[in-house]
Amino acid sequence: MQSSQFKGFTLVELMIAMSISIVLIGVVVEAFLSSRQAYRLQESQARMQEDARFIFHVFNNAIRQAGYVGCNSRRSGSTVNTLNNAGSFFYRMDRAIEGFEAVSNTWEPVINTSELASTIPFVYGNDIVAVRGASDTSIRVVEPFMSQTSAALHITKYNNLEQFDIVLVTDCLSASVMQITNANPHTAATIAHNTGVGRPGNATKNLGKIYRQEAEILKMVTRVFFIGEDRNSGLPTLYHKVETNSPEPLVEGVQGLQILYGEDTNGDDNVDRLLPANQVNMDQVISIKLSILLQSIMDNLTSSPQTYTFNGTTTTPTDRRVRRVFATTIALRNRLP
């Protein structure tokens, strides 16, 4: 009989094979990590791009609606504001747009930030802007018409109005701002504007004019945009406040908000100069230039901190997030032909 010969791997061969395997595994792991990091970077950049589009969409709608008061938008007819504290921040409906320039840890003109948000830490160095105007939907005034300037208004049913809404009535020559005081105007088809009810309430029932069939009702809205710190994530966040309701977060990772105002100084409907809020006549503003600085939600996307420039200042952060600056110009269409 022939004896069987069994051959195996020597220790040196096994060590060489193991070394090659470790190298190959390292290459695969490195490729995986590089691919994963590239995906995280691309995902963050895509998210910032989408966030910028959304922010510009929201601002476009708000700014273009600023100063809209129905058919009275481009007329010089008088407006009577019957509200209590008609000159207070949320109810000065004669100011279509109002900007506040960030100066260190405050703003010019001065703004009472506690009115905007008492529990949200503001991110200083960023501008604040308020826009005021009516909704697109108008509601017709119908018979029986007012018999005197303090009488109730009759309107079409199913109008989506609610008690304590701030509304404007206009006949294209004059306009009056008031607060609805009766319950269920949506189905009652009437608008009472009594005194001593609601907040801020009406200082008077006298609208200054008897409105008839030419008149329409529009809901008035004040919107405010500012940057605060999200209490959960700690990230700078763009907030949106409507009337005296609680501010709502719109987009996380909005680190910077700067606005320049296009002023028409000679009434030819063209921008003559671009200035910050504390140097411009807001009554002559016909456009804004909006600049935002977005940062990625995820950190550790780059191998080292990435320097960026925003609002004329170059900064090297301590984190390894990516940042991008976006800018757009928006016209106040209710101040243009």
Mind listing the pLDDT tens digit for each residue in 91-147? 998 899 999 999 989 999 999 988 888 889 999 999 999 999 998 789 999 999 999
C-alpha–C-alpha distance, residues 92 and 183, integer Å: 25
C-alpha–C-alpha distance, residues 191 and 184, integer Å: 9
pTM for the model stands at 0.86
Token pair in block for residue 239: 């907030």
Residue 152 lies in a domain: yes
Q: How many domains does the chain have?
A: 1
Length of the chain: 337
Q: What is the DSSP letter of 285?
A: E
Residue 213 lies in a domain: yes
Ramachandran quadrant class, 311 (left: phi over 0; alpha: psi -120 to 50; beta: rest): left
Exposure string of 254-288, with b = 16+ CB inside 10 Å and e = fewer, is bbbbbbbbbbbeeeeeebeeebbbeebeeebbbbb
Residue 127 lies in a domain: yes
What pLDDT score does 1 carry? 47
Regarding beta strands 216-229 and 236-242, do their DSSP bridges make them parallel or antiparallel, or are they unpaired? antiparallel
Token pair in block for residue 106: 């405050």
C-alpha–C-alpha distance, residues 254 and 247, integer Å: 15
- Residue 213 phi, psi (nearest 5): -65, -20
Residue range of the domain that includes 80: 45-335
What pLDDT score does 151 carry? 97
What pLDDT score does 32 carry? 61
Residue 271 lies in a domain: yes
Residue 40 lies in a domain: no
What pLDDT score does 94 carry? 87
Mind listing the pLDDT tens digit for each residue in 196-209? 999 999 999 999 99
Residue 293 lies in a domain: yes
What are the average pLDDT values for consecutive 10-residue runs of the chain, which has 337 residues? Answer: 59 76 74 69 92 97 90 71 93 93 95 88 96 90 96 95 95 93 94 95 96 93 96 94 93 97 96 97 97 95 93 95 96 91
C-alpha–C-alpha distance, residues 137 and 216, integer Å: 10
Give SS3 for 134: strand
Q: Identify whether the C-beta of residue 71 lies closer than 8 Å to the C-beta of residue 170.
A: yes
Residue 31 lies in a domain: no
Give SS3 for 15: helix
